[in-house]
Amino acid sequence: MKICIPTATDEGLGAQVFGHFGSAPYFTIVDVESGEIRMVNNSNAHHSHGMCHPLGALSGLSIDAVICQGMGARAVQKLNEAGIRAFQAQGQTVAELIDRCKAEELSEITPAGACTQHGCH
């Protein structure tokens, strides 16, 4: 399973989770089975609310899930349409989130439970 985590830095497992999916400076991609880590620069990090297109930066990476602190309903819907699930982050670093993912301790984000504005969490 490949997981995408929006992060503030490109420090791999030690990277701090960023507050909102589309505004993250980086996406840390982790293959949970192999442990492989890949960093992706989010060239669309600066945008107006509701205008982000993070799937463009992730295209071709075969992501299965996104784990983040917050995301808007449109982003959740677009991810789900692409076969990608979204989960609520419970931890501060990529390593913590991967551990919680492996233990199946993360709650899924639905369009109904998504953020309505930046700073919602």
Q: What is the pLDDT of residues 107-119, one digit of tens each?
A: 998 877 666 554 4
User: Which residue type is seen at 110?
Assistant: T
pLDDT of residue 106: 93
List, for residues 28-56, the tens digit of each pLDDT value. Answer: 999 999 999 999 988 765 444 444 455 66
DSSP structural state of residue 41? E
pTM for the model stands at 0.83
pLDDT of residue 46: 47
Residues 8, 23: Cα–Cα separation, whole Å? 9
pLDDT of residue 14: 96
Angle at 81 between CA 78 and CA 82, to 5 degrees: 90
Query: Exposure of 27 by Cβ count < 10 A (0-12 exposed, 13-18 middle, 19+ buried)?
Result: buried
- 3-class state of residue 53 by DSSP: coil
What CATH code is assigned to 2-112?
Answer: 3.30.420.130
User: Which residue type is seen at 92?
Assistant: Q
